[in-house]
Structure 1
Amino acid sequence: MTVFAVGLLAVVLVGAVTRPRNLPEAAAAIPAALIVLVTGLIAPGRAWDEVRELGPTVGFLAAVLVLAHLADAEGVFRWAGGLLAHHSHHRPRRLFALVVLAATATTAVLSLDATVVLLTPVVLDTARRLGARPAPHAFACAHLANSGSLLLPVANLTNLLALQALQSSGVTFLGFAGLMLLPQLAVLLVEYVGLRLTFRGDLAAPADPAGPDDEAPVPRVALAVLGATLLGFAASSPLGIEPVWVAVAGAGVLAIRTLATHRTRVPDVVAAASPLFCLFVLALGVVVAAVTDRGLGQLVAGLLPDGTSFGALLGLAAIAAVLANLVNNLPATLVLLAALGPTPAVGAVLAVLIGVNVGPNLTPVGSLATLLWRRVLAARGVPAPLGTFTVAGLATVPLAIVAGTAALALVV
């Protein structure tokens, strides 16, 4: 039965990665979840517990996706593109540095999906207008969507799962950010240097502007709502208020204005919430729970090092990175957190997070965000060769994991 459960998980992951006939990720996940229930691989009560635990996290994901869509409708990303073009002074290296900062900020506040889906097209258009080669800036968006998501719990679904696992340790929103600040800075430094060296030829090529810089109006209302929402995350955590309610409130406030001014429509808002993807995450959680209960969790637990020394933390981060590239970072997070037990050490959870967030930059299948990024580039005719992706990954991922884990060892 264990082999059967692992086979079902493999089918779900292959379906999510390849999406045959453009079917949504849920097309394989939901039937697989039903199969593990019908065959008794997981008890209905256990499946319901998994769905209930994931519910607030998935609800938060939907709310943040809506918030990002509304921010885009209000012109936040168009305004950001204008800033990038203006402050780059038509210099590719300067534009690259600004893209790294913009991608990091977007990921931290609006999640990695916003960086991939909304910021990447803006960055590509900006590079085109400036006559700069697109590859360095496109890859910066992909890498920082993953590795730039360490700082805040709201930046990545994996972070929310980790924060949920740390509830017994009393780690708050601000506490999480405080612990991950130094690791995030260490990882960003490695990413910047590694990517700049990888694309030094593209960045050295002179820019040939194709047109004047666009100056979009400052979206003051949208920026104010985003800022208030971020402050709400920090203020609500010590009060025991789930971040999903803060995200829903922010999205609701901005939706009133955006719908009233006809910048978006109700069907577009509903579509932005990605209900099928949310169902995919819930179904995936049930399938992973079945696989974990059928022996995978015990196997993984036996591989994990004990303690919170630098060596132990680095081992955890390395195993997490490898597993993320084998089975994708979301199921890897679910399996590893289950293997760490009900009361895991704070350092152990955060080391796993470094592995599952930074590790996916090594291969195109390490995270769903990277797969989505490749589709965004393909739709705009921008190549993302596997060889280039691998070279950029080797130039950044191993050292970033070491640097981020070393920084973590200093604060836990």
Structure 2
Amino acid sequence: MPDLLALLLAAVLLAATLAAAAADSPRLPPAAVAVPGALLLVLLGAVSWQDTADTVREVAPTVAFLVVVLLLAELADREGLFTWSAALTARQAGSSATRLLTRVTVLAAVVTAVLSLDATVVLLTPVVVATALRMRVPVRPHGYAVGHLANSASLLLPVSNLTNLLAVAATGLSFVHFAGLMVLPQLATVALEYLVLRWLFRRDLRGVVDVPVHEVPGTPVLALVVVGATVLGFGVASLVGVAPVWPAAAGVLVLGVRQLATRRTTLREQLVAANLPFGLFVVGLAVLVLVLQLHGLETLLHAVLPDGSGLLALLAVAGISALLANLVNNLPATLALVPVAAAGGVPTVLAMLIGVNLGPNLTYAGSLANLLWRRVLGEHAPGTARFSAVGLATVPLTVIAATTALWAALLV
């Protein structure tokens, strides 16, 4: 198939896949577009069966881990972890909406880092919104904090974001080494998000909370122990060359068996929580992006991304990555950028991650997490222009600060 025709067809199929993801309709899941689209391109000769099989093998461990972590987060939620943590956060805030924002920011950053941004968006967001309504404080600042931190607090660990999982293999870094390099960017980003959101919504945060929270449900000890042990297991597993899916699977086994035994959940409900169709969507998306790469995109990105590990080069990589994430969504952007960034070494890959993780706070189209967040918020969701206006106040600052922090960490 001619390069131009293959490029155009893959681009159309990618756009259709992302449109299906944005619509989030059970009648047409994105996997129902991505997988047949990928097969069509293979049958038409736009990509070989061998290249397709190699790509599927490369992303399969990442997809398996994603499925297991989604299930772990759902099981932890059924144990009451998110309800308890939100109630504890609200009680600590007392009668101050500003203190509530502070604690919601910290909570969202921790949940995102440990259980991934999907857990923050799908499980934590509704609890935070319900808490704000219960306390009779404005939802906007706290809703934005959760939404923004779902993207921007996902720098710390390889497991925090699917984009990290897709890129970490290209760095050759262990779990601990990755976290060590990204801790400064993470701290700088979270601090700036909090300060900017606090300033933007200063009017909403004035006054005293009408209905402070005094009661907190019982501590979900088992969920806390399992999640903590799982995160510790990620670090240990990376040191001995074991895939992170196994510590996560152990956590799922403990909580899943307990809940099945007590009839708090069923196997069917656990399969639904694992979201297998989303895993198929990622596989199909990887093949679509592969076709784009083979027929011109990779050459273009090699020409655009600068070489070197100096501050200006890293800022350029992060900026270009953020722009691409908002143009085509950060998941396909990551799939396209990883092979090119890997040629520049660890600094380039990590700068690319800063761009694709923080950049999506600029537009709803920037990440699937944004689209899920908007759906979860419902009537409280901001309009497109309002969302981008707030993003314009945070994204440039956080991208620059995080990249500068990364550059400093690399010098140590």
Instruction: Give the TM-score taking structure 1 as reference length.
Output: 0.96
Which of 199, 202, 219 aligns to 1:200? It is 202
Per-residue CA shift, 1:323-373, capped at 9, x if unaligned?
0000000100010112235x5411000000000000000001100011000
**Does the aligned pair in 1 maintain the 2:87–2:213 contact within 8 Å?**
no
Show the 5 A alignment for 1:84-163. 84-163=89-168
Partner of 1:324: 325
Q: Secondary structure at the match of 1:204?
A: coil
Q: Secondary structure at the match of 1:200?
A: coil
In structure 1, how many angstroms separate the alpha carbons of the residues matched to 2:27 and 2:309? Answer: 44
Partner of 2:276: 275
- TM-superposed CA distance for 1:21, in Å, is 6.7
In structure 2, how many angstroms separate the alpha carbons of the residues matched to 1:240 and 1:105? Answer: 25
Bigger mean CA offset, 352-361 vs 194-203: 194-203
Q: Is residue 172 of structure 1 aligned with residue 177 of structure 2? A: no
Q: Is residue 61 of structure 1 aligned with residue 66 of structure 2? A: yes
In structure 2, how many angstroms separate the alpha carbons of the residues matched to 1:284 and 1:18? Answer: 16
**Does the aligned pair in 1 maintain the 2:132–2:139 contact within 8 Å?**
yes
The 1:344–1:258 alpha-carbon spacing in structure 2 relative to 1, beyond 3 Å, is: farther
Partner of 1:189: 191
Show the 5 A alignment for 1:260-409. 260-341=261-342, 343-378=343-378, 381-409=379-407
In structure 1, how many angstroms separate the alpha carbons of the residues matched to 2:158 and 2:215? Answer: 33
Q: Kindly report structure 1 stretches of 4+ aligned residues shifted beyond 6 Å.
A: none
**Does the aligned pair in 1 maintain the 2:117–2:369 contact within 8 Å?**
yes
The 1:287–1:267 alpha-carbon spacing in structure 2 relative to 1, beyond 3 Å, is: same
Gaps of 5+ in 1: none
- TM-superposed CA distance for 1:213, in Å, is 3.9
Per-residue CA shift, 1:166-223, capped at 9, x if unaligned?
12xxx100000000001111111111111111111111144222x8544210010111
**Does the aligned pair in 2 maintain the 1:74–1:263 contact within 8 Å?**
no
In structure 2, how many angstroms separate the alpha carbons of the residues matched to 1:19 and 1:92? Answer: 33
In structure 2, how many angstroms separate the alpha carbons of the residues matched to 1:26 and 1:39? Answer: 20
- TM-superposed CA distance for 1:91, in Å, is 1.1
In structure 2, how many angstroms separate the alpha carbons of the residues matched to 1:212 and 1:347? Answer: 45
Per-residue CA shift, 1:17-55, capped at 9, x if unaligned?
234575212121112111111111110110111110000
- TM-superposed CA distance for 1:383, in Å, is 3.1
> Among the aligned pairs, what percent are the same residue?
50
Q: Which amino acid aligns with 1:375?
A: R
Count of aligned pairs: 405
**Does the aligned pair in 1 maintain the 2:113–2:159 contact within 8 Å?**
yes
In structure 2, how many angstroms separate the alpha carbons of the residues matched to 1:43 and 1:140? Answer: 44
The root-mean-square deviation of aligned C-alpha atoms, in Å, is 1.3
Q: Which amino acid aligns with 1:405?
A: T
Gaps of 5+ in 2: none
Instruction: Give the TM-score taking structure 2 as reference length.
Output: 0.96
